[in-house]
Every structure is written in structure tokens, then in C-alpha cells.
Copies of this chain bind each other. A is one copy, B any other.
């Protein structure tokens, strides 16, 4: 039995994988708990251990794979920090869990782990090289090269969210301007819709009917729903976000020529139009000889990708 931990920031999930008669791992049980707004690292750690003990019922795990939502020094098994939950700074998570559960533990960040999950069990099966991108409250990425996670010299590879594609664009939390994240993630979609509603008072009738004057409360989900129902302003915002991501992916494909790109995260559930816009923008931004090498697919494992990836880390 292998345990998979997903420290997700807003929720924590523990899963138990067991081999079936054919020897393949199957998801045998799963426990998920929302993390309260005032939770700190110690709280989330204690919660996860409690979930794990519940699934183990006295048994010993063969190994534990851990996906952590934040920067990780995978080689050392250290959490650097969480951008959402205080108190995780420089935590030797691997060694803590290894000594508590007396088993082998591997820890990596959620984008790398989801990339590995999709490569082994999801939309990237059979691909020697894969770039996984998650588009939700931020934009992150993880590389699988020659079937393994590629982490980079400082274990910081994959940060497509902080590639600059519009040097005069909106400011980013990283201190620069026009990062992909600020043009493609969920909060960026909401912000771009808000800006358009203010700038174009005669448009966006469906969105306006929903949010009225309170555009500050607008969400990316509402923008996409309005787009689906025919709101032209919302459609333009969704298309702009897709094009920004696709433009960046074109540059990624020119630079690395991965066999496939897999897109996960809430924003990428926007539907077929979104994917077609991403693909068209990527194809328009590669050399002709790479047109047929643009293979951009939706993730197959959904929210469970980090759990399957955590399994793959140790199996």
C-alpha cells in the first residue's frame, strides 16, 4: 500500500493506493479536508497525519509520495514555503514523515507531481517529453523529460507563469510586468473582464446582469459562463487569456519541442473554444516545421493528478 499526500493550500487530501490482481495500483481510498482560513503549516501537517492514520488502520505504508502546493527542494525533501499557508518555511517534510511513518518518502511541488501523474497515468502516457501547465489562481508548469521530472539547476524549472510576453503589460507579484500569469490565470481573467466592463459601458450585458455595479466580486468562472451564453465581451476576455497562454506555449515548443503539452487547472475546464484558441495561438507562434508538433491536450486526471503523481514518485 502506498500513501499519496496532496497539500493543496486550501485543502489537504490523503489517498491510499493498492495493487489489484494484475499488479496495477488502484485508488483504494481517499480523504479530503478543507483547510480553514486560519490554518498554519503545523495544523495542515497534523490534519494530513490524522487522515493518513485513518486510511492506514494500523497498517504500515510501503512508501509515501507527497505533492506540496509551493516551492520545494525536492532533492533535500524540504518545503521552502507556502504562498497560501503561513508556517511552512524551511520544513524538512520528507524526514518528518519518514520518521513518523517509518517508510520511504519523496516530496515534490504540485506542478512537477501533477506532470508526472499525467505522464504515467493520464493524458501524457507514452510521451517521453511532456510539459504540464496548470492554470488556476496562478499559472505553473512542470517538465517530464526522458520520462522523469526535470527540475533544473535550482529546482525552479517550469515557471511558464513568469515568462514575460508583454513587457508593458500589467504588473506581476514577481516585480516585473506582463508575465503569462497576469494575462492567463483566473484572477487575471476576472481583472480583464472588470477593466473591459468599465471601459466599454455598452457591452457585456450578461455579465452586467449578474454582477451589477459590484464588478470587484466578478470571478473567472462567471466570465466563462457568460462567454458560453454568448456574452461577446466575456468571449473576448476568454479568447485573450487563451491567446496569451497559447503564444507563450508556442515559444515553449520552439525552445523545447516537447512531445505533448497537457493543460490542467480550473481555467482549462473552460471548454472546447478555450482549447482551440490556445492551440491556434501556439500554432501561429511556431516555425512552419513545428506546426504539426503542436499537441496541446486537456489533463485527464483532474484534481487527482497530484495524487497519481505522488504515487508515481515512489512506485
Binding site for B on A (CB under 8 A): 71, 127-129, 141, 143, 145-146, 150-160, 162-164, 167, 174-176, 247, 250-252, 254-260, 284-290, 293
Q: Which single member of B160, B174, B250, B285 contacts A255 (CB below 8 Å)? A: B160
Question: How many angstroms between the C-alpha atoms of A174 and B156 in the bound complex?
Answer: 31
Bound form: Cα–Cα A306–B158 in Å: 29
A50 to chain B, nearest CB (A): 33
Q: Give this chain's copy count.
A: 2
**B contact residues around A174 at 8 Å (CB):** 287-288
A42 to chain B, nearest CB (A): 25
Chain B residues with Cβ under 8 A from A154's Cβ?
Answer: 257, 289-290, 293
Query: Would you call A163 and B257 a contact (CB within 8 A)?
Result: no
Q: In the complex the two chains form, what is the Cα distance from A255 to B255 in whole Å?
A: 10
| A152 B129 Cβ-Cβ under 8 A | yes
Which of B157, B175, B254 contacts A162, CB < 8 Å?
Answer: B254
Interfacial chain B residues near A160, Cβ < 8 Å: 254-255
Partner of A256, one of B254, B256, B257, B288: B256
**Bound: A176/B290 CA distance, A:** 13
Please give the distance in Å from A47's CB to the nearest CB on chain B: 28
A163-B251 CB under 8 A given contacts A129-B153, A258-B152:
yes
A128 near B157: Cβ-Cβ < 8 Å? no
Q: What are 26 pairs between A and B in contact, CB < 8 Å?
A: A128-B153, A129-B153, A143-B256, A145-B150, A146-B146, A151-B257, A152-B257, A154-B257, A154-B290, A156-B257, A156-B289, A156-B290, A156-B293, A157-B257, A159-B255, A159-B287, A160-B255, A162-B286, A164-B250, A164-B251, A167-B247, A175-B287, A176-B284, A176-B285, A251-B251, A255-B255
In the bound complex, do residue A153 and residue B288 qualify as a contact, i.e. CB atoms below 8 Å apart?
no
Which residues on the B side are within 8 Å of A256 (C-beta)? 143, 150, 152, 157, 255-256
18 more A-B residue pairs beyond the given contacts A152-B256, A154-B257, with a C-beta to C-beta distance below 8 A: A145-B150, A152-B258, A153-B260, A154-B289, A154-B290, A155-B257, A156-B257, A156-B290, A157-B257, A163-B251, A164-B247, A164-B250, A164-B251, A164-B285, A174-B288, A175-B287, A176-B285, A255-B255
Within the complex, the shortest CB–CB distance from A9 to chain B, in Å, comes to: 19
Q: Are B163 and A255 in contact (CB under 8 A)?
A: yes
Note all chain B residues with C-beta closer than 8 A to A128. Answer: 153
Nearest CB in chain B to that of A155: its residue: B257
Closest to A285 in B: B164
Cβ of A242 to closest chain B Cβ, rounded Å: 16
CB-defined contacts of A167 to chain B, threshold 8 Å = 247
Closest 10 CB pairs of A and B: A152-B257, A153-B259, A157-B257, A174-B287, A156-B257, A163-B251, A154-B293, A159-B254, A162-B287, A162-B254
Q: Closest CB-CB distance, A14 to chain B, in whole Å?
A: 30
Q: How many angstroms between the C-alpha atoms of A183 and B178 in the bound complex? A: 20
